[in-house]
Amino acid sequence: MKCNACWRELEGQAITTTCGHVLCTEDAKKILSNDGACPICDQVLSKRSVINS
Protein backbone atom coordinates (compact mmCIF):
# COMPACT_ATOMS: atom_id res chain seq x y z
CA MET A 1 0.00 0.00 0.00
CA LYS A 2 1.25 3.47 -0.88
CA CYS A 3 0.43 6.92 0.41
CA ASN A 4 -1.97 8.59 -2.04
CA ALA A 5 -0.23 11.96 -1.59
CA CYS A 6 3.52 11.28 -1.77
CA TRP A 7 3.47 7.69 -3.12
CA ARG A 8 5.96 6.45 -0.64
CA GLU A 9 5.53 2.90 0.53
CA LEU A 10 3.58 2.96 3.77
CA GLU A 11 5.44 1.50 6.70
CA GLY A 12 3.72 1.01 9.98
CA GLN A 13 0.95 3.47 10.62
CA ALA A 14 -1.29 4.70 7.82
CA ILE A 15 -4.30 6.99 7.87
CA THR A 16 -7.50 6.24 6.02
CA THR A 17 -9.69 9.26 5.40
CA THR A 18 -13.46 9.25 5.08
CA CYS A 19 -13.07 10.06 1.37
CA GLY A 20 -11.36 6.71 0.97
CA HIS A 21 -7.77 7.81 0.48
CA VAL A 22 -4.79 6.45 2.31
CA LEU A 23 -2.15 8.80 3.68
CA CYS A 24 1.02 8.38 5.65
CA THR A 25 0.88 9.98 9.09
CA GLU A 26 3.30 12.68 7.93
CA ASP A 27 0.99 13.87 5.13
CA ALA A 28 -2.10 13.53 7.28
CA LYS A 29 -0.50 15.76 9.90
CA LYS A 30 0.51 18.29 7.25
CA ILE A 31 -2.98 18.38 5.78
CA LEU A 32 -4.71 18.70 9.12
CA SER A 33 -2.45 21.57 10.19
CA ASN A 34 -2.94 23.47 6.92
CA ASP A 35 -6.13 23.87 4.92
CA GLY A 36 -7.42 20.46 5.84
CA ALA A 37 -8.33 19.37 2.31
CA CYS A 38 -7.49 15.99 0.83
CA PRO A 39 -4.70 16.44 -1.78
CA ILE A 40 -6.33 13.93 -4.09
CA CYS A 41 -10.01 14.85 -4.12
CA ASP A 42 -10.07 18.23 -2.32
CA GLN A 43 -12.61 17.01 0.17
CA VAL A 44 -12.23 18.90 3.42
CA LEU A 45 -10.95 16.68 6.17
CA SER A 46 -11.28 17.19 9.86
CA LYS A 47 -9.43 15.42 12.62
CA ARG A 48 -12.58 13.48 13.28
CA SER A 49 -12.74 12.18 9.71
CA VAL A 50 -9.31 10.60 9.88
CA ILE A 51 -9.26 7.03 11.05
CA ASN A 52 -6.20 5.16 12.21
CA SER A 53 -6.02 1.87 10.39
* Among the listed residues 22, 27, 37, 44, the single contact to Zn ion using CB under 5 A: 27
CB of 36 to Zn ion, least distance (A): 12
Three-state secondary structure readout of the chain: CECCCCCCECCCCEEEECCCCEEEHHHHHHHHHCCCECCCCCCECCHHHEEEC
Binding to Zn ion by CB under 5 A, coded x per residue (else -) over 32-51, reads ------x-xx----------
28: contact with Zn ion by CB under 5 A:
no
Cα 50 off chain centre by: 7
- How many residues in the shown chain lie near Zn ion by CB under 5 A? 10
